[in-house]
Structure 1
Amino acid sequence: MAPSWFTGAVLSALLLAASGNAAVAGQKFSSFSKAGTPLFNSETVQLTEKVFTNLNSNHATLFKFGSNGTDHQPRSLFTGCKVFPGDLSWPLPIVWSIFDDLLGGALIRTVPLAASCYSSRPEYNQHKCESISSQWTDSHIHAADPASVMWPLFEGRSCLPTTNPSESCSLGGYSSYTVNVSNVAQIQLAVNFARNAGIRLVVKNTGHDFNGKSTGAGALGIWTHNLKDIEYYENFRISGYHGPAVKMGAGVQAYEIYEKGKELGFTAVGGEGKTVGVAGGYVLGGGHSPMSSIYGLAADQVLALEVVLANGRFVTVTEKSDPGLFWALRGGGGGTYGVVTSVISRVHPKVGVTVSTFNFSTSKNISTETFWAGMRSYLNRFPAHADAGTYAYFWVMSTGKNSFTFLMNPFFAVNHTVSEFNTLMKPWFHDLKALGIPFKPNSTYYNNFHDAWAAGFPLETVASSVMMTGSRLFPRANWENATKLNATFDALRATISAGYPLLAFNMKAELPKGYLPNSANPAFRQTLMHAITSTSWANGTSDADIKSKMEHFTNDILGKWRTTCPDAGAYMSESDISEPHFQQAFYGSNYARLYRLKQRYDPTSLFYAPTGVGSEDWAVKSVDGLPDQNGRLCRV
C-alpha cells in the first residue's frame, strides 16, 4: 500500500490538473531584478506557495520548497542512495504525469540519441540512424538533445551508433527524464521534486564537460539549453562597476554571443569552442578564452547571477546581496550550488585580431633533434607571447617512429596587426629559419573578434567513446627556473614520443586589476600553458583493459607532468576524471571554503557532479566498473 502522503499528493495534484491550472504552475512577477536590470520573460514566471493552495499541506510534500534545504530529510538519506528506477519509492508513472502537468508539458522521457539504430527500440529507423551516425562527432546535435553529452564514455557507452541493429541499447547513464526549461517555475518544480523525492538531479546546458557532469543514471535532468535571451547594456551600474555589460540566458552559446558582439560592437570573454554554453557550466568552472591573456577568465567578468537554489528559491546573487555565494558560483564548478538561469557579465570594446596558421614536421631534411630544437625555441617564448595578450592553440603529434608534426591552429594575436604579429614572432621564426625548418605562416588581420574567431577555430570534434583526456596548468614558475623548464620540456617530449598527442594553449589568465576575487582555480592565475593529452584504445577492448589503460594514463603519463609542477593544478572542465587529489588539482586553496559553502547552500546534497565540490561524499556504482555515471549514486 502506498503511504498516505503519496496517495494524497497524487489525488490533490490530479485535482489541480483537472482545474485547468496545472499548465500555469507559476506566477508572473515584476520584471525588475535586484541586479538593477529587467528579468528575462522566462525569469518572471516563478513558483510560489500559491500553487499549493489546492493541496493539503500534508499532500504537497513532493513539490514544496525547503526553508534552507534542511526542513526534512529526503527519502534517499534513509537508504544512503538516491532513489533509483525500480525502487519501491521511485515515483509511479502517474506521478510523473502529474509532474508534467505542473510543468506545462515540459517533461521529456529520455530516448538515447542513437536509439534509431536498434531494432529492439520503437524508434528504430535505418535512415534516421544513418543520419545520426554521420553527424555523431558534430557537437551541435548533442547540444540540441535534452540528455546526450559530448563524451559518451562517461555516460557509460550504453547506446552508441551501430551498423548491427541486433545489439542492445539501454538508457544507461542518461537521465531518466528531462525538463525542457522555458521558465524559472519549471526549474523550481524540478529542484523541489528531485529533492523531496530523493532522486538524483543533473543540469545540462550543452553537455560539453569532458567528464560527463550533466548525465547520471536514474536522474531527473534540467535542460537549460533553450534559455537564449541576450540583452546588452551600454551603461550598466552595480557596486564596483560602471560600463558595458551583457545579460545572457543560461543557454547562450559562444557563437551566439560573438555574433551579438559583432552586431553591437562589443567583445565578450567566452569559449574557444563554437557550441560551448557560455553562461552555463563553462563560466561556473572558470572558463578560459581567446581573450584570457588580456581580460582573465570568463568567471572574472561576472557581475550578477540569477539562480534557483537547492531549496527551490529563486534569488539574485551579487557581491552585495550574498558575497559568499557570489564568490563560489564564479569558478567553483557547475551543478554544485544551484541552477543558474542567467548571468550579467562585463564586456569589452571591439578589437582587431591577427589569426595565423602554419605547421612544420620532421622529414628527410629535418631530423628529430632539429624538430625538437624548433619546439624548444617556441616553448622558451611562452612568457613573452602571453604577456603580449595573445592566445595560441597548437598540436604536437607523433606520426611514426622518430617522426613528428607541429600544427599552429591558430595563433590568435589580439590587438596585433599582421606587422605587429610578425615582430612578436620574429625571434622564434628566426630560430626556425636558422635551423632550416621550412614553414609558411598564413596570417590574416580581422577588425573584430567574431570574424577572427570564426576563421581561426574549427568546430569541435566530439563523442569519441574510445578515448579519454587529461590536462595540466603549467605555471610561469616553470619558465623562471632553468631546471624546471628543462624538466617541463623533457616531460612533454617524452609524452609525445610515447605516442600521446599534445593539444595545448599558450595563454595566461591573471585576475585583472580592480576585478573582484572569485573561486576559480588559483593555478589559472599562474599558468602559461594549459596542456591536454589523451589515451585511446580499439573498439571491442574489454572494460578491464580500458580501466588498466586509464590507470596507466592517469598515474604514469600524466604523472610525469605533475612531477614538473606538483603544486599547480588542472582545468576541471577539460581534465582527467580520475585526477588524484582533485580537490587540490581543480580548486587549490579555495577548496575548504567552497566545501563549507556547499554544506550551507546544499546540505542534503541535491546537486552532485563528478569531481565537483563535495563529490567525495558520494560514489557511483557503475555497471562496468569504469569512472562513468552508469549506476546508482550512493553515499560513501
Structure 2
Amino acid sequence: MSVQLAINLARNLNIRLVIKNTGHDFSAKSTGAGSLSLWTHNLKDIRFYDSYHEGSYKGPAFKMGAGVQVFEAYKAARKNNVTIVGGEGRTVGITGGYILGGGHSPLSSIYGMGSDQVLSMEVVTADGQFLTASETSHPELFWALRGGGGSTFGVVTSMVIKAFPKIPVTTLTFVLSTGRDVLVDQFWQTLRAYFQDFIKYTDAGMYSYFSLNALSGNYVWTMQPWFGPNLTKTQFEEITAPFWIATRIIGVDLKPVYKEYDDFYEAWDESFPLESWGTNLQRPGSRLFPRENWENQTKLSETFEAIRYVVDSGGYVLGFNVAPNPKGGYPDSAVNPAWRKAVLHAVDAVTIQFWSSILTYDWSPLWRYVSPGSGAYLSESDYIEPDFQHSFWGNKYERLYKLKKQLDPWDVFYAQNAVGSEDFQMSENVFGILPSQNSRLCRRKPDPLRSSAVPDFRRTYIDPIVFIWTMTECEKLLQFDDG
C-alpha cells in the first residue's frame, strides 16, 4: 500500500510527513515546507450495510473512505433512507480530520459527537502496520483516534460509522440589524433574550448556527439556521415561545421564516450554504462555554458580556448552541470532556492582520475567565492556543501523550497543536507570534522528565534529505532562543 510505503520512507529517512484530506484546517496541520505529503482526498469508497454487527451495536452502518466529504456522505445516507451524524460544512472530510477531532453536528444535541458514531477504523500506524481499530481490536488506539486529533496516531484510510432512521426537521432563519428601526440597545437585549434558554433548546435536541458582527458599521445578527431535528413547527414554536414574547416586549420584529422538512438531508441542504474559504478572516479562536454558566444568572451575564466585548471590539463571532451530551450516553473516547458540559461553542475571528495578537491576548483570556476549567474545540481554535494540551483534551491529555510515545516513538506524525507537538518547534514566526509552517521543523531539547527510548534505526543526524532538525542545529543556523 502506498500509505505504508510513505510512512516507512518518512520514518527511516527522518523526513517530515504531512497528511492532508480536504484542507479544511484552521491550524495548518495539512501544510509543511519540504515535507512528504500524503493526500487522502481521493479515498472515496462508500459501502452501506443494512445490518452491521460490531461489539454491542447491531444496525445500519456505512463504511467510508477517508476522502469522503460531508455532502457525499449525506447523499449516500438519503439514497439508503437513513440519517448519519456529520458536520454542517459541505466539503469537510467527514471521516478525516472532522471525526478524528471529535466533530460537532446539527444532530449532536440528539446523537452526540461525530466520533461517537464510529464502530471501527482502518489505520496505518507509525511502524507501517495496517490495522483495524475498534472496541475489541487495538482498543487504546481506537480510544485515541476518536477525538485525539488528526496527523497524530496514524493515517486513517476508512471508517465504519452508525446510521440512524430518517427524521423530520423544522428550521428557522432571521436577520437582525441595527439601523433606523432597531437601536443598539434593542439589538443586544434581543440577543440576551435568545441566550437565556440555551439549555432548554439543546435539551429539546436543537442546534443553532448564528453569526454576530459590526463590520459594516451596523450590528448584524444572522440566524442561519435555528435547527430543530425531530420537531414540528408547532413544537418548535412552543419551545421558543418565551423568546418571542421577549422580542415583542423589546419592540423588535425578527420576521422569522419557518420551514418544515420530511428528512434531514433536505433541511441541511437548504439551510447551510457552501462556505467560502481563504477569506480575510485571518485568525480564529474558540471556546466551549459550559451549561453551568446558564444555571447561574450572574455567570450567564458575564458570558454574554464576554461575547459582546469581542463584537464591540471589531471581531466576528460564530456561535453554535449545541450540547453533545445525548440522553442515551456516549462512548469513552479522547473527545475533550468540556464538550460534554457545553451548550455554546463560540468562534471569534479577526479580519485585520494588525489585530492578530488581540485575539490571543485580549479576547481569549476574557472568554477563558468566564469559563474556568472548560476548553476549546481543537478543530476550530486559536493557532497558538495557550496550554493547548488541556484546552483541547482536559484531563485526558496525559493518557494521550503516553499513548503517542508508545505508538509513535519515532515522532513520524507531527502537526501544529497535536498531541506531542510540544516536543517540536518551528524555526521561524510570521507576524512575530505565529509559527511558520514554511520554516524548519525543529526537535526541542529533550526533557529528562518526559524522555522515551527511540529505536536505533531512526536517523538522528543531519544530511541534505532530512527535514526534521535538532534544536541544536536550528540554533546554529538561525540563532533563535529555544525558550
TM-score after normalising by structure 2? 0.89
Q: Is the 8 A contact 2:281 2:349 kept in 1?
A: no
Partner SS, residue 270 of structure 2: helix
| CA–CA separation in structure 1 for the residues paired with 2:328 and 2:250 | 41
Q: Deviations over 1:91-149 (max 9, x none)?
A: xxxxxxxxxxxxxxxxxxxxxxxxxxxxxxxxxxxxxxxxxxxxxxxxxxxxxxxxxxx
Q: Of the candidates 525, 543, 547, which is equivalent to residue 340 of structure 2? A: 525
Higher-Rg structure is: 1
Counterpart for residue 264 of structure 1:
80
The aligned amino acid for 2:375 is G
**By how many angstroms is 1:360 displaced?**
1.6
Q: Which residue number corresponds to residue 443 of structure 2?
A: 635
1:608 to 387, 390, 414: 414
After TM superposition, list the pairs within 5 Å mapping 1:476-555 onto structure 2.
476-510=291-325, 513=328, 515-537=330-352, 546=353, 549-555=355-361
Partner residue, 1:588:
394
Among 338, 349, 364, the alignment partner of 2:154 is: 338
Match of 1:574 in 2: 380
Note if contact 2:175-2:222 (Cα within 8 Å) is conserved in structure 1: yes
Q: Displacement, 1:368?
A: 1.6
CA distance in 2, matches of 1:455, 1:445: 11
Which letter does structure 2 place at the counterpart of 1:356?
Answer: L
1:44-63 correspondence runs (5 A)? none
Offset at 1:596? Answer: 0.5
Q: What is the match of residue 51 of structure 2?
A: 235
Alpha-carbon distance in structure 1 between the residues aligned to 2:350 and 2:421:
25
1:234 Cα deviation from its structure 2 partner: 1.4
SS in 1 for 2:334: coil
Distance 1:591 1:508, change over 3 A: same
- What is the rounded CA distance, in whole Å, between the counterparts of 1:466 and 1:425 in structure 2? 32
Q: For 1:207-246, what aligned pairs fall within 5 Å after superposition? A: 207-246=23-62
Aligned-residue CA RMSD (Å): 1.4
Structure 1 segment 262-341 matched on structure 2, within 5 A:
262-341=78-157
Higher relative contact order at CA 8 Å, sep ≥6: structure 1 or structure 2?
A: 2
Asked if the contact 2:224/2:272 (under 8 Å) is kept, the reply is yes
Tell me how far apart the structure 2 counterparts of residues 365 and 253 of structure 1 sit (CA, whole Å): 42
Match status 1:442 vs 2:257: yes
| Partner amino acid, structure 1, of 2:63 | K
- Equivalent position SS for 2:214: strand
User: C-alpha distance in 2, partners of 1:467/1:205?
Assistant: 21
Give the whole-Å Cα distance in 1 for the aligned partners of 2:248 and 2:280: 41
Residue 40 of structure 1 is matched in structure 2 by: none
Cα offset for 1:511?
5.4
Query: Equivalents in 1 of 2:97, 2:428: separation in Å?
Result: 24
Which amino acid counterpart does residue 240 of structure 2 have in structure 1? M
8 Å Cα contact 2:52/2:60 also seen in 1: yes
Distance 2:202 2:435 in 1: 35
Quote the Cα distance in structure 2 between the aligned partners of 1:365 and 1:460.
30
Offset, 1:301? 0.5
Contact 1:327 1:517 in 2 (8 A): yes
| Residue 267 of structure 2 is aligned to residue 452 of structure 1 | yes
Report the Cα distance in structure 2 between the residues aligned to 1:312 and 1:475, rounded to whole angstroms. Answer: 40
State the identity %.
48
- CA 559–377 in structure 1, closer or farther in 2 if over 3 Å, else same: same
- Structural mapping, 1:352-501, within 5 Å: 352-399=168-215, 403-464=218-279, 467-501=282-316
Amino acid at match of 1:424: I
Give unpaired runs (5+ residues) of structure 2.
445-483
Question: Secondary structure in 2 aligned to 1:631?
Answer: coil
Letter in 2 for 1:628: S
What is the alpha-carbon distance in structure 2 between the residues aligned to residue 477 and residue 191 of structure 1?
45
Q: Is the 8 A contact 2:303 2:367 kept in 1?
A: yes
CA contact (8 A) 1:248 1:343 kept: yes
Q: Secondary structure of the residue that 2:411 maps to in structure 1?
A: coil
Q: State the shift of 1:364 in Å.
A: 2.6
- 2-side partners of 1:332 and 1:487: how far apart? 31
Rate the CA distance shift 1:590–1:365 in 2: closer, same or farther, 3 A: same
1:434-455 residue CA offsets vs partner (Å, 9 max, x unmatched):
2110111111111111111010
SS at match of 2:376: coil
Amino acid at match of 2:96: G
How far, CA to CA, are the matches of 1:477 and 1:424 in structure 2? 20
CA deviation after TM superposition for structure 1 residue 465, in Å: 5.7
> Which whole-Å CA distance do the structure 1 matches of 2:278 and 2:308 have between them?
28
Over 4 Å off, 4+ runs: none
How far residue 513 of structure 1 moved from its aligned partner, in angstroms, is: 3.0
Specify whether residues 627 and 435 from structure 1 end up closer, same or farther in structure 2 by C-alpha distance, changes over 3 A only.
same
- CA shift, 1:389, in A, is 0.4
Quick one: distance in 2 between partners of 1:339 and 1:577? 22
1:368-399 CA deviation, whole Å, 9 max, x = no partner?
22211111110001111111101100112115
Q: Secondary structure at the match of 1:222?
A: strand
Distance, in Å, in 2 between the alignment partners of 1:582 and 1:520 is: 14
Structure 1 residues 514 and 487: CA distance shift in structure 2, 3 A: closer
The DSSP-based 3-state class of the residue aligned with 1:552 is helix
Q: Return the letter of the residue paired with 1:635.
A: R
Query: 1:400 & 1:329 partners in 2: Cα distance?
Result: 42
| Separation in structure 2 between the aligned mates of residue 199 and residue 386 of structure 1, nearest angstrom | 46
